[in-house]
Chain A
């Protein structure tokens, strides 16, 4: 048996890294187990001439396509949106787009404001210092002063507008609609050991330059220097409990596939909205027959994606295509509730600068835009380097039938039951997506774009995995309390996207990490009576 640790963190991604770093100053013995390993930036796609092809295989965002040994399969056959993630130190921050909005203050009070879903048990103000701390740690670029977003103070200037940004900005001005340079975790200047962005363009499948913040190069070096221990290629099977109903530690398979038990005083789960309920459900026992921390029956339920409705077209002017970070601007024009639109809540808009030649050829051929035969060459030259895209990132509301359960058949490489996702796009989300597509078309037309096509929804767009172990004050209606501790197990904490009560209409990683830092801070303030 391994020596007991004070704190065991499961998962070294966005939230696991943040909570580890924050707790390190307690000088407790902290161990993090992750099923993945350290990535090697010299092997990232943009270092090779086949950089685009890798996106369809070894560097696919889908674990079901990628199938690295570190991945686990996900049965998402019953979902129109497929789950995407990455399993390594840094987790999905290795392959995210680095778009960095945060939830708005109103997103924490949707019941009060709009009469739907539930209010969060915490508010924006409670997270404000942790948003700021996280922006410093991750290294954020952006422009302060957006009239429609929470005030941020990015430590680095915004990304250049570029050709694509200018085309989009002009179109938005023509329509009189809000737009603003995105906060991103792309370093626009040298920042705490990270080199500035040199526009490799292929940001999503990992940044070879290290300009894009992923927690393997931001939080983890600090946490490890402060004494946190990390064990790689260790896949946790289940959390065990003792006769007092407390977590006693975890069973995991080490890098050699050998079953191990790791005892711990405190267990923190940071596996996000699919991995976390999977682990809790796999931890069912005589004491917790429906899964650990599941007396509410809500573990795995209320799964929220952000359904992405994307519309794109081709302008006459050359765009930045693949020679720039893919995202650069956002719009909050349709973020807040306006019932005259036929739906409640709203969506953010995320603009895309363009694509590389292989992506363009493959995507356009699939859409029927790029013909076979003699016309192929002339049409390709009209399309390639001329794409701009508009994506509505729609706020999904929690619905219990959207859920993560355990697949009765599918298992991972260690024989652990795999997660199964059942998800349907709600009528409210559908109307929101239609609205976003209609407004997106107006934007593209204002930009002079032609050959307009849609991805509705983006099939491999399940980046944001939220709500499956929700936070709340009522143990009958939530899995963790207002500071992240499981209602049922007083030394078990959850710090990832699964604790979200609602989803907002923005990319969630900034807020996930702010919540993780907030929970860590709450734990530190209560160390003397953490289990009361």
Chain B
């Protein structure tokens, strides 16, 4: 069984719901939410070494919610989410990080942020030289290296 398949259907449902609570879709910025199908698929496909902690986090979330998170009324859902983040420790932090790292590499999201859709290598980036005259006052300061006996 692959790591991906180790999330139950209930886990996946709660993951989708909590992801949308972390990052909802935005018409203003023309970006999907983190519950988007492609982003969710990326999370499941790349859980890898994070799978155990994410499962642990989702189990904790399920205990707090008592039923599928999506079935709670909005106020209760928000309260559960707050409690989850506050009490979930390393497992909750890992789940949130998995959501964020998959969201912020999605093409639509990067495009909205004005970032290029590519790996840094091999093209790299251009770094402006900058105004080195800013260093003139420091160059003009007297030497101040503490001498050893």
A-to-B contact residues, CB < 8 Å? 44, 46-53, 56-58, 104-106, 108-109, 112-113, 123-124, 145, 147-150, 159-163, 165-166, 169-170, 172-173, 176, 178-181, 197-202, 208-209, 320, 322-324, 335-336, 357-358, 361-362, 365-366, 372-374, 376-377, 381, 384
Contacts and interface: CB of A to CB of B under 8 A. Distances in A.
A357 B115 contact: yes
Closest 10 CB pairs of A and B: A198-B124, A161-B130, A323-B125, A105-B148, A169-B134, A200-B120, A208-B121, A361-B100, A106-B146, A46-B120
Interface residues of B, number: 56
Interface of B: 21-24, 26, 28-29, 31, 46, 48-50, 81, 85, 93, 96-97, 100-105, 110, 113, 115, 117-132, 134-135, 137-139, 141-149
Contacts of A159: 127
B148 A113 contact: yes
B110 A202 contact: no
A252 to B, nearest CB: 28
A169 B131 CA distance: 10
Q: Which of A108, A113, A165, A180 lies at the interface centre, i.e. has the most chain B CB atoms within 10 A of its CB?
A: A165
A365 B92 CA distance: 12
Given A362-B101, A372-B22, A47 B121 contact: yes
Nearest to A372: B22
Question: Most chain-A CB neighbours within 10 Å: which of B21, B49, B81?
Answer: B49
B104 A357 contact: yes
Contact of B46 (A50, A170, A362): A50
Contacts of B85: 372
A104 B100 contact: no
Contacts, number: 172
A318 to B, nearest CB: 10
27 contacts: A46-B120, A47-B119, A48-B119, A50-B101, A51-B119, A52-B105, A56-B101, A105-B146, A113-B149, A147-B141, A147-B143, A149-B145, A161-B132, A161-B134, A162-B130, A178-B138, A179-B135, A180-B135, A200-B121, A201-B120, A201-B125, A357-B110, A357-B113, A358-B105, A373-B22, A373-B24, A377-B23
Contact of A324 (B26, B123, B127, B134): B127
Nearest to B137: A173
A161 B131 contact: yes
B129 to A, nearest CB: 5
B97 A56 contact: yes
B116 to A, nearest CB: 10
Nearest to A333: B144
B26 A377 contact: yes
Contacts of A50: 46, 101, 105
B134 A377 contact: no
A147 B145 contact: yes
Given A161-B134, A201-B120, A372-B22, A108 B148 contact: yes
A386 to B, nearest CB: 12
B103 to A, nearest CB: 8
Given A123-B148, A381-B113, A199 B126 contact: yes
B46 A163 contact: no
A266 B148 CA distance: 34
B44 to A, nearest CB: 14
Given A46-B121, A161-B131, A53 B148 contact: no
Contacts of B46: 50, 53
A470 to B, nearest CB: 19
A47 B97 CA distance: 21
A183 B50 CA distance: 37
B127 to A, nearest CB: 5
A166 B22 CA distance: 35
A324 B22 CA distance: 29
Contact of B105 (A49, A56, A108, A199): A49
Contacts of B146: 104-106, 113, 335-336
Contacts of A44: 121
Contacts of A201: 120, 125
Contact of B113 (A108, A172, A384): A384
Contacts of B147: 105-106
A147 B119 contact: no
Nearest to A55: B101
Contacts of B138: 147, 172-173, 178-180
B3 to A, nearest CB: 12
Contact of B148 (A109, A148, A200): A109
B91 to A, nearest CB: 14
A160 B130 CA distance: 6
A180 B132 CA distance: 10
Contacts of B130: 160-163, 165-166
B6 to A, nearest CB: 17
Contact of B118 (A49, A104, A149, A374): A49
Given A44-B121, A48-B119, A372-B22, A358 B104 contact: yes
Contact of B127 (A105, A162, A181, A384): A162
B146 to A, nearest CB: 4
A415 B149 CA distance: 49
Contacts of B48: 57
A381 B115 CA distance: 12
Contacts of B132: 161
B119 A377 contact: no
A414 B26 CA distance: 52
Contact of A358 (B100, B122, B127, B139): B100
Contacts of B22: 365, 372-373, 376
A365 B101 CA distance: 12
Contacts of B28: 377
